[in-house]
Structure 1
Amino acid sequence: MSEQLKTYRGNCHCAEYVFEVQVPESSKPKECNCSLCYKRGALWLSPKSENLHFVKGDPSTLANYTFGGKTWNHKFCSKCGVELMVVGHITPPQPGEQKEPVIGVNVRAFQHGQGMDAWAVERDFIDGQSFGKPYEPPKFTGPEPKAVVDGGKLYTGGCHCGAVRIAVKSKPFDQITGRWKPIQCNCSICSRHAYAWCYPPKEQVEIEGEDNLEVYLFNNKLFGKVFCKICGVSAYNKLQPITEDQINAMPEDRQGFVRVWLDRIPINLRVINDLNVNDLGLEVCDGYDREPRYVEP
C-alpha cells in the first residue's frame, strides 16, 4: 500500500513563481554539504515529476546555474534570487539512454505554517562534497579593509561562481556578543535564503564585482537583498541611497533605526570561505511575525 501524500505550497519571495508539490507524509528533507547547496542553505525533497505543479510562472523561465560536471541545474528566480528547484542526474545518462532526471524542490521556499519548518525539521544529510573535483573557492584580490580590529582576522569569500568576492576584517564570529552578534532570522526572505547574518561596520568590508549583483527590493524598499546574477548566491544586505531630509521625514523611532545602518553592512556568513555556520550555534530570531506581515501567495 502506497504512503499517503501531503501537499505543500511554495514560492519565490517576489511571487513570480508559485508551486504545489506532493510528497509522502514521512518525507525528510536532505541537506547537501556541496559548495553550492551550503552557500544557499538548501533543503531538498525529491517528488515524482507528476507531483510538482507550478500554479504561477513557467519553470522553464527560471534562471539556471550549473557547475562542476554540469549534471545538475539549479533553478532560481532572477528577480528575488530564491532557489526553487534542482534538476539533474546522479549519474549522467549514457549515449542513447533515456533517463528521467531527478527533481529536487527546495523546502526553504515552502510557505510558513505548513508543518515543514526549515529551521527545525529533522533532516538527512548528503555528502555532496565527495562528488566530483574539489571546489575552488573564489579568491579575493582587492585591497584589505582599512579598519584595525583588535583581535581580528581577515575573512574572505564570495558567491559560488566567483563573480562577487568579499573581504571582512572581524573578530572571530563566535566571539562577537551583544547587539551585533551573528544571528539567523525566520522572516519571509531570510528563511528562503537561509541567511546567517553578521553586521560589521562598512570600514571592515571590501567587495569586488558589485556590477555582477542584482538588488531585490520589497516592503519599504530601504534594504536590498543582494545576490549574484550568475549563480544566485546571496551576499549581503544593502541600504539604499537615502538623504538626510528623507530620514528626518520619518517617525522618530524609524530615524534612529535607519541611522544605525548607515555605517553597517550585513554580510551573509554562508559566503565566507573555511567557515561553517552550522558550527556557530546561531540563534534563530523571529522576524516572520513582525509587522507588516508577509502575504503568502
Structure 2
Amino acid sequence: MAETQDPPTRRTYQGSCHCGAFAYEIDLTELKTVVDCDCSFCSRKGNLYFLTSEEDNFRVVKGSEESLTSYTFGPGNKIHKYTFEDAQGPSASTVAVECTRHTRYKHQSNRKKKFYYSIFNSNLDPQYSPPAYKGDVPSTIEGGQLYTGSCHCGAVTVAVSCKPLESGEERIAECSCDICLRNACVWISPNSENVVLSGSEDAIGRYVLADGRTSKVFCHTCGVNMSSFRNELSEEEMIELDEQNLRAYKRGRAHYPINVRTLHGVDVGKLKKIMNETMPCRLHL
C-alpha cells in the first residue's frame, strides 16, 4: 500500500514598505527557495523573488496598488512597483513577489543558507549600458581608486574615491537594521569630501528615519537606494542631544555612506563583507 504524503504546509506571509504606507498579505505553500536575479536592476536592488501563479491569494491590506510608483525598462514585460516615500514595495510583475520585503524572510541569512537559485538575466539582449556619471570629481585619497555609479535609470549618479574594494582595505558592511535588511544595501563609508552625488532635486528622494537625523537617498524614478546621510540639525536640535548621540551625529556628518550595489563594474558577490549586527547604519559604520 502506497504511503500517503502530507499536503504541503501553507502560510500567510505579510509584507510592507518601511514607512507602512503599503502593506499586503499572500497565502502560499511554505517558501523553501527563492530566486536571485543578476540583471542590471535586481543586482542594484538586491532583490530575492519567489514566483507564483496564485495571484488571487495576494491581498492589499493597506494603501493601494494604484498609489505605488511604477518603473519598467527593456522590453517592459515586468513592472516594478514601490512607494514614492521610501522606495519600497512588492516590486515585480503579477507572478513574482519580492520576498526581501517580507517581515518573516531575512535577506542576508537566506543568502548564507543558499535557499535561493540564480537566474542570469544579465546575459539577455539588449545588453544594459551603465549611465554616464554627470557630476564633478570628488577629492581623491592617496592610493585610492575613483568609482562611478548610478541608479538604474541614470537620473542619479555618484562618484566616490576610496581604497580598491577588491583589496579588502576598505570596510564593507551589511547592516542588520530593518530598512537595510529590506533594501539589501551593502555599505562603504568614505569621508564626505570623497563623495559627489549628482542629480536634480526632483530626481533625488530622501526618506527621513524616525530619529529625524538620518535620511536614505534613492532615485524617485527607479527606486534604487543610493546612499545615506546625516541631516543638518539646528543649534537648538544639537543642544537637545545627549553626549553619546552628539558624538554619533558628528561622526556621521563626517562620512557619506554609499550603497556599493550602485557602483559600476563592482561585483558585490566577490567582495569580503562583514555583518554589522550591533551598530545601526544611521551611526554610519
Whether these two folds match at TM > 0.5 is: yes
Which of residues 33, 45, 57 in structure 2 aligns to 1:51?
A: 57
Q: Give the distance between the partners of 2:223 and 2:280, measured in 1 at CA.
A: 26
Shift of 1:172: 1.0
2:145 matches 1:140? no
2:163 matches 1:171? yes
Shift of 1:13: 0.3
Q: Give the distance between the partners of 2:172 and 2:196, measured in 1 at CA.
A: 19
Q: What corresponds to 1:294 in structure 2?
A: none
Q: What corresponds to 2:268 in structure 1?
A: 277
Shift of 1:141: 3.2
Q: Give the distance between the partners of 1:289 and 1:240, measured in 2 at CA.
A: 16
Would the aligned equivalents of 2:172 and 2:272 in 1 still touch at CA under 8 Å?
Answer: no
Q: Give the distance between the partners of 1:289 and 1:222, measured in 2 at CA.
A: 13
Letter in 2 for 1:228: C
Shift of 1:210: 4.3
2:73 matches 1:67? yes
Q: Give the distance between the partners of 2:280 and 2:8, measured in 1 at CA.
A: 34
Structure 2 stretches lacking a partner, 5+ long: none
Judging changes above 3 Å, is the alpha-carbon distance between structure 1 residues 103 and 231 closer, same or farther for their aligned structure 2 residues? same
Structure 1 stretches lacking a partner, 5+ long: 88-101, 291-297
Equivalent position SS for 1:132: coil
With structure 1 as the length reference, what TM-score do the two structures score? 0.85
Q: Give the distance between the partners of 1:183 and 1:17, measured in 2 at CA.
A: 28
Shift of 1:52: 1.1
Judging changes above 3 Å, is the alpha-carbon distance between structure 1 residues 287 and 44 closer, same or farther for their aligned structure 2 residues? farther
Which of residues 34, 40, 46 in structure 1 aligns to 2:39?
A: 34
User: Number of paired residues?
Assistant: 270
Which of residues 254, 257, 276 in structure 2 aligns to 1:263?
A: 254
| RMSD of Structure 2 on Structure 1 (CA) | 2.0
Q: What corresponds to 2:124 in structure 1?
A: 131
Which of residues 156, 159, 172 in structure 2 aligns to 1:182?
A: 172
Q: Give the distance between the partners of 2:158 and 2:278, measured in 1 at CA.
A: 26
With structure 2 as the length reference, what TM-score do the two structures score? 0.89
Would the aligned equivalents of 2:16 and 2:89 in 1 still touch at CA under 8 Å?
Answer: no
Shift of 1:125: 0.7
